[in-house]
Copies of this chain bind each other. A is one copy, B any other.
Amino acid sequence: MAEIKNCAIFYVSDGTAITAETVGRSLITQFTGINFIEKRLAFINNVETAQAAADLIKNTPSDYQRLVINTVVDIELRKIIHSAGGLKLDPFNRLLRRIEKNLGVKSDPGVGRTHGMLDSTSYNARIEATNFALSHDDGVNLNLQKADLILLGVSRSGKTPTCLYLALHYGLKAANYPITDEDLERMKLPDDVMMHKQKLFGLTIDPFRLSQIRSERRPNSRYAALKKCQMEVSDAEVIYHRNQIPFLNTTLTSIEEISGKIMIALDLNKRLY
Contact = CB atoms under 8 A, between A and B. Distances in A.
Given A112-B26, A119-B254, A256-B116, A103 B31 contact: yes
Contacts of A142: none
Interface in A103-149: 103-105, 107-109, 111-112, 115-117, 119-120, 123, 126-127, 130-131, 134, 137
Contacts of A256: 16, 18, 116
B5 A120 contact: no
A7 interface: yes
A102 B65 contact: yes
Nearest to A253: B116
A254 B117 CA distance: 7
A104 B96 CA distance: 29
Interface residues of A, number: 74
Interface stretch (A74-82, A85-93, A186-194, A231-239): A85-93
Interface of A: 5, 7, 15-19, 22-23, 26-27, 29-34, 38-40, 42-43, 65, 67, 71, 87, 89, 91-92, 94-96, 98-99, 102-105, 107-109, 111-112, 115-117, 119-120, 123, 126-127, 130-131, 134, 137, 158, 160-161, 164-165, 168, 252-257, 259-261, 263-264, 269, 272
